[in-house]
Amino acid sequence: MLKSLQIPSPVSSKSFRPAALMILLGCALPILTAPPAQAQTYSILYNFTGLADGGDPYAGVTLDRGGNLYGATATGGGDGDPGTVYKLTNRNGSWTFARLYDFGAFGNVIIGPNGTLYGVNGSNQVFNLQPPPHFLPNLLAPWMETTLYSSSAGSYAPVVFDRAGNIYGTTYDGGSQGGGSVFELSPSNGGWTYTVIHSFGTDFDGSFPIAGVVIDAAGNLYGTTLSGGAYGNGTVFELSPSDGGWTETLLHSFTGGNDGGDPYGGLIFDALGNLYGATPGLFNAGYPGGSVFKLTPSGNNWTFSVLYTFPESGDECGPRGTPAMDAAGALYDTTTCEPENVFKLTPINGGWTYTSLHTFGSRGDGEYPEAGVALDADGNIYGTTLYGGTYGNGIVFEITP
């Protein structure tokens, strides 16, 4: 049984709105944002209808070099397919929605080395999506999908490439011990070879990795597990290539105290090689409501420190997404309750200052920001909410400085 996996069920009944007809017909719709403002501004870029455009986006968004956004939804889509992959194109402050393909995903899609999209869909298939021939004059054509591998184990995580073109990801179940796995897909003779490089679930090992992994310059992989470890509240782990195999090192076992516990989100690096992550806290009253943490390399070891602890909630209200970092070293993420918001942690005088950038819940606003956020070079923040918006099926939002 997946410990503390509190993923809300998709809304079962959605009201049909006439404004959704254009999307139902598969058209690309322009969405106008608010005009630029001097002060910080929150804008809804897109309201999902739950119809052909999709709905209930557990995943966040990914930015390309042109400032366009890509994401996936868990429900909706054409031809009865569960979810969609979509693109929002920014042209001079106006955003246009296009449905790229009719299947969805719980984890983010990524942009691979060849500039096309990769991810894991709701059928546990690692996929690649490429634009159709003559893409520009034919905006409504679906993208072309290639399945790289189909797994019997489930995955909510995005994948990552190394410098040699190998792909790495996680499954939250399966593996030889039943506690999930980290896998590698290696290009081979025009296809891909799938290898499980670590199976979780033995002794004090972690178990049930919900997030994906990150990779350093030496090819070491780092990630989190939702459960397991010395206290049963999850871990941060490292996998290092060794003698043709991989060696696991547990960098931290969460106690469920001020360090948080049950991490759904993954990790990020800063320019100095430090790791950052966040936890929502335990699903029990009497415990802190999650944390934002840092791991600093020190010789062959890592030093764990807590940057911020959220107030007690008993309802896993802390961050479930992977943090994002701006050029000044500030961290950004979301919380899912008490309150639901986008926040910023700013390093000041050796400490960290918490600022709420937007609180969700007003009329027509988004609800339940499950994923983290993405930042562009100008400091604009982008993300999704699972529910809320005009049709109750979630939104894509922007916060401008």
Give the N- to C-terminal CA distance of the chain in Å, as an integer: 43
For residue 4 the two structure tokens come to 């503390």
pLDDT at position 330 over 90:
yes
Average pLDDT over residues 83-95: 92
259-269 average pLDDT score: 96
Show the CA angle centred on residue 333, arms to residues 330 and 338, nearest 5°: 125
> In the prediction, which pLDDT does 134 show?
66
Whether 363 shows a pLDDT value over 50: the answer reads yes
CB atoms within 10 A of CB 220: 16
How far apart CA 62 and CA 321 sit, in angstroms, is 13
Share above pLDDT 90 across residues of the chain, in percent, rounded to a whole number: 73
What is the arithmetic mean of pLDDT over 167-193? 95
Please state the pTM of the whole predicted model: 0.88
Q: Mean of the pLDDT values across residues 138-146?
A: 75
Q: Tell me the pLDDT band of 100, cut-offs 50, 70 and 90.
A: very high
The pLDDT confidence band at residue 365, using thresholds 50, 70 and 90, is very high
pLDDT at residue 40, as a whole number: 80
Q: Residues 295-329: pLDDT tens digits?
A: 999 888 999 999 999 987 667 788 999 999 999 99
Strands 160-161 and 144-150: unpaired
Whether residue 48 is predicted with pLDDT greater than 90 in this model: the reply is: yes
The pLDDT, as a whole number, for residue 6 is 41
Residue 130 reports pLDDT greater than 50:
yes
pLDDT given for residue 12 in this prediction: 33
Q: Is residue 135 predicted with pLDDT exceeding 60? A: no
pLDDT (mean) for 257-275:
96
**Residue 312: what pLDDT?**
76
Judge whether 225 and 208 are in contact, CB under 8 Å. Answer: yes
> Nearest Cα to 394, choosing from 71, 117, 6, 140?
71
| pLDDT range class, residue 81, cuts 50, 70, 90 | confident
